[in-house]
Structure 1
Amino acid sequence: MLPAGFDELDFEQFHSEELPRRLASGNGELALEEARRLGPVAFRMTEGGAYTYRAGASGIEVVPGDETARNVYELSRESWQAVVHELETAPGLLYAGKVKCLRGKALRLVFWEPGLRAIYNGRPLFDPDTFELTDRHGAPLDPATAFTLEDDREDMAHFLRSAGYLVVKNVFDEKEVASFQQAAEELRSAAVPGDRKSWWGKNAGGEEVLCRVTTARTASAFQDLYRDPRLTGLIDLSDTELKARAGTGTYEGGTVIYKNPDMVEGLSNLPWHRDCGMGGHSLNCPLIILSAFVTPLNADTGELRMLPGSWQGSCPPIDADSPHAPAGVALAAEPGDVSLHYGDTMHAAPPPRRGDLGTYRISALTAFSRAGAPASPRKGAYNDVLLGRDDGQVEHLADVAERSSPS
C-alpha cells in the first residue's frame, strides 16, 4: 500500500514507457558512469517479469529479462514501487528480508542505490572533490565554522543550506546540561537488552554496553526540547517548514546516543550514511536532526563527521575507517552546544580515539520532518526493522547482505 499522493506503477508499462522518458530527460546521463562501474543490475518481480539496467554506448539501456545481468534481485511489486518512489531503500529491504539476491552479491544493490535514485528521480551523484563551500558573497567558507544564537541568521541559514549542517555554541547553560546528564543516566539505567527501545553492543572485554535509547522524550529534561524556542528558531533557518517528528513504533520522539570505546559487536560506530537510509526519504525529507551535546564532542570522546554539501546529491554508504572513505569534517562541540544536520547529509560516527576516559560523547537527538507530509503506511518507524535481535544489537549491513547473497 502506497501513501496518499504516490501513484501506483505498472512494472511493464513503467519500463516500456515512463522510464525511457525519464532517462531521455537527463536521468540516464546522471547514472551512466556509475552503471559502467558497477555492471548490469536486474529486478525480477515475485509476481512475474524482469528488467535489466545496463550502461550502453550512449546511455542507460533498459532490457527485458535478467539473463545478462551480473546482479539479479527479486522483490515484490509493492517493494519495487516503494524504491522508485524513494519510500524504501536497499538497506531497509535487506534488513527487512524483502529482497532476495538471486545472482551476484546483495551488497551490490546498496552500491547501486545512488544510481537508481538518479535513474528514477533525477537525483545527482555527489562528488566531494568538486564541491566548494562559499559564503553569501562567494568567498571560501571554512566547513568547520561554528555560530552562536546572536550571529546573523542569514549567514546561518546560508551555511545550513550549503553545507547541510550547522553547529551553534552555548545554547544551553550549565544547569540545563546537568539536568540532561541526569536524565541520560536515568534512561541508561532503565534500558534493557532486547526491549526494542535501545541499541546494544559488546566491547573488547565482552561486556554488554548501551549505545542508544529511543525513549528520550519520556524523560522530563528532554520531553520539551522539540518546542524550546531556541531550537525551533534554529529549525526555522531551513527553507522548508519542518515540525517535530512524532513518536512511532519503537521511536518515542527522541534519542540519546552513548558513545563507547573498544566496541567489537553491535552498531555503535556508524559508517558514512544518511538518516533516511532505511527508508522514508520522500515522506520526511528535508529532515533535520538536532543534537544537544551533554558531554564534549571530539575525536577522543567519539567524533561526528559531516560531508559538506552531500545532502544535495547521493552517495553510497561506506565504513568510516575504509581507505576509500572521504575524510569529511569533524564537528567540535562542548556541553550545551547543539548541531543540526539534514538527514540527507552523509555523516559518520567513528570510534573514540581514547579508551581511558571516564565519559564519552552523550547527545540528545530530536528529529524535525517536513510539515504536511503524508502519513507512512508502516505501522512503526523505518528503523524498527533494525531491532530484531533479542540482545538488542543491530547487525552490520555487510553481514546482513552476505547472508542474503547466494551461497
Structure 2
Amino acid sequence: MTERLAMFRTLDRRTRDDAAFHAFDPESFFTAEFPALAARHGHLVAGAIRMLGVPPLAIECDGSAWTITGEGGTGQDGTIWAERGIAPGAMVLTLTGEQFGEWAQNRLTLNGMMTARSLVFREGTVRDISCWDAISHALLEGWPVTDDGLTFTDRQGAPLDLARAFTPRDDPAEIFQFLAQAGYVHLRGWLDPRDMAEICADMDRALPHYREGDGKSWWAQLSDGSRRCVRLQEFVEHSPATRRILSGETWARIRHIVSGDDTLKVLPAEGRVIEALFKPAGVVSGPSDVSFHRDCHLGRHAYSCSRRVVGIALTASSADNGLLRVVAGSHRVHMPVELAKTASYLPVIALPTEPGDVTVHLSCTLHEATRPVSAERRVMYTELPHADAVSYADTAEGELREQVTGILRDLEPRTAA
C-alpha cells in the first residue's frame, strides 16, 4: 500500500460493486471462496491474529458452524484455515443468513452489527469483536492490520511533520501527498473568518425551524437536564453564506487539490449537501461527540472509500472546547477501533483550528471529536464522494447510519444467553 501511494495520485479503495452482490451462505463461502482468500491474504490474517492475541473466530449460521484460525509465522509464512464446527476457545458469532451475506461481501461490518445492537456472540469481548472486524477486512480486502514498516514521507522522501497545517500558498502536490500518506490534512486560513461568523448567526436564526424527531436534526441531553440540538441538516437552505462558499472558487480549488487523479462528485449547494454542528459543553448523552471510528465503520468500505470528508471550522477548536483528533496512517493500516481508544500503535494527532480553517480526512481514517470542557464550538461537515459512486444515503447502510451513529460512543452489544 505504501508503494501504491507513492506512485499514484489516486486514493480510490473500491474493490466491489453492488451489482455483483448476491446471496451467500456459509457453505459456499467457506468451501469455494475462502481458500482463494486464504492464499492471497492469509499471511495478513495470521500476522494480525498473532499480534492482537485474539481467539479463533467461529461463525454459526443456519444450522452450520465454521471456525477461522491461523498460525502466525514471519513475513509470508503465516497460514490460516477454516474448519467445520466450533473449535475449542473460539469466540462464537451467531449470524442470520442475511447478516452473513452482508459480512462476507463487506457491506456490513461486525462493528456495524454491534453498533446496531444486532450482533449475537459469546465467549468473546468487545475488544475481540473490534479486532476481528479489522481482521475481516484483511481477509476480504487485503488491508493490513499491523504497522510493519509504515512511514510518512513528503514528495522528496523526508519525514512528514504530522501536525503541519497548509496555507493557500503551499504547493498543491505537497498537500495531496500529505493527505495520501497521513489520511488527513489541515488547511489553515483558507476561508474568511467573517463568513464563519455570519454562518454562526445563520445557525442561530435557523434553529427555530428544527425540532426533535423531525428527521433532519440530532439532539443531545446536557448535564442540566435540557435537550439541545446538535446537528442541522438541510442547513444550506438557511445560509446564503454557506451556499456562496460551496459555489465559490476557493471551494472548487480545495476539491481539485484533494481529488488527485480521482474524479469526485460536484455536489450542488442544496438539500443535505452539508450539515452544521453545535458542539456544546456538558453533553451527557446523545450524538454530539463520537469517539474513534471510521466513516466506513458500519460497512461499505469496499464500495465507497475513500470519500473525502471535509470540515469547516466556524469557531476555534482546542482541548478546552473540543477538537478533531485523527490516527495517522489508519487508512493504510486497519488498526482496530477499540485499540485506537485505548492503546494506539499508530500516531494520534490533535488538529486545533481557527475560524476559516478546513480539515479533510479520508472516510477510512480513524478520527474522533473530543468533548468540549467549558465552551461550545461549531463546525460544518460535508463529503466529496467518487463521481460514479452510489449515493450512500440511498443504501440500507446509509439508513442504518442515520439510526445508530448517535450510539457509537456508548455501544453495548447484546450477547447470547
Q: TM-score range by the shorter chain?
A: 0.7 to 0.9
Tell me if structure 2 keeps the 8 A contact 1:226–1:366: no
Deviates more, 1:360-369 or 1:85-94: 85-94
Counterpart of 2:407? 395
Distance 1:344 1:256, change over 3 A: same
Counterpart of 1:42? 58
Offset of 1:159 from its aligned partner? 1.0
The match for 1:308 among 309, 328, 331 is: 328
Counterpart of 2:44? 30
Q: Point out the structure with the larger helix share.
A: 2
Counterpart of 1:386? 404
Partners of 2:267 and 2:57 lie apart in 1 by 35
Partners of 2:322 and 2:230 lie apart in 1 by 12
Partners of 2:267 and 2:33 lie apart in 1 by 34
Distance 1:406 1:365, change over 3 A: same
Counterpart of 2:137? 117
Partner secondary structure for residue 305 of structure 1: strand
Partner secondary structure for residue 365 of structure 1: strand
Offset of 1:187 from its aligned partner? 3.9
Is 1:145 the counterpart of 2:164 in the alignment? yes
Is 1:268 the counterpart of 2:284 in the alignment? no
Is 1:205 the counterpart of 2:224 in the alignment? yes
Distance 1:71 1:189, change over 3 A: farther
Task: Tell me which amino acid in the other structure corresponds to 2:63.
Answer: G
Offset of 1:368 from its aligned partner? 1.0
The match for 1:56 among 47, 58, 71 is: 71
Is 1:364 the counterpart of 2:380 in the alignment? yes
Distance 1:207 1:143, change over 3 A: same
Counterparts of residues 7-406 of structure 1 (less than 5 Å): 7-25=22-40, 27-36=41-50, 37-45=53-61, 47-56=62-71, 58-68=78-88, 70-105=90-125, 108-127=128-147, 131-221=150-240, 222-223=242-243, 225-237=245-257, 238-239=259-260, 240-243=262-265, 252-318=272-338, 322=342, 328-352=348-372, 354-355=373-374, 357=375, 360-374=376-390, 377-378=395-396, 380-386=398-404, 394-396=406-408, 398-401=410-413, 404-406=414-416
Tell me if structure 1 keeps the 8 A contact 2:178–2:185: yes
Task: Extract unaligned runs of 5+ from structure 1.
Answer: 388-393
What TM-score does the superposition give when structure 2 sets the normalisation length? 0.83
Partners of 2:272 and 2:117 lie apart in 1 by 25
Partners of 1:319 and 1:298 lie apart in 2 by 24
Tell me if structure 1 keeps the 8 A contact 2:23–2:101: yes
Offset of 1:259 from its aligned partner? 1.7
Tell me if structure 1 keeps the 8 A contact 2:130–2:338: no
Task: Extract unaligned runs of 5+ from structure 2.
Answer: 1-16, 73-77
Tell me if structure 2 keeps the 8 A contact 1:272–1:347: yes
Partners of 1:245 and 1:23 lie apart in 2 by 40
Partners of 1:156 and 1:245 lie apart in 2 by 22
CA-to-aligned-CA distance 1:237-270 (integer Å, 9 cap, x gap):
32321115699xxx93322222222332223232
Counterpart of 1:390? none
Tell me if structure 2 keeps the 8 A contact 1:201–1:268: yes
What TM-score does the superposition give when structure 1 sets the normalisation length? 0.85
Matched-pair identity in %: 26
Partners of 1:395 and 1:109 lie apart in 2 by 17
Partners of 1:214 and 1:130 lie apart in 2 by 42
Q: Say how many residue pairs are matched.
A: 389
Tell me if structure 2 keeps the 8 A contact 1:39–1:55: no
Tell me if structure 2 keeps the 8 A contact 1:51–1:65: yes
Partner secondary structure for residue 18 of structure 2: coil
Offset of 1:3 from its aligned partner? 2.5
Tell me if structure 1 keeps the 8 A contact 2:115–2:411: no
Distance 1:321 1:10, change over 3 A: closer
Tell me if structure 2 keeps the 8 A contact 1:114–1:314: yes
**Root-mean-square deviation (Å):** 2.9
Offset of 1:379 from its aligned partner? 8.3
Offset of 1:381 from its aligned partner? 3.5
Partner secondary structure for residue 383 of structure 2: strand
Partners of 1:126 and 1:108 lie apart in 2 by 16
Offset of 1:398 from its aligned partner? 5.0
CA-to-aligned-CA distance 1:272-311 (integer Å, 9 cap, x gap):
1111112222232111111111100221221111111211
Partner secondary structure for residue 329 of structure 1: strand
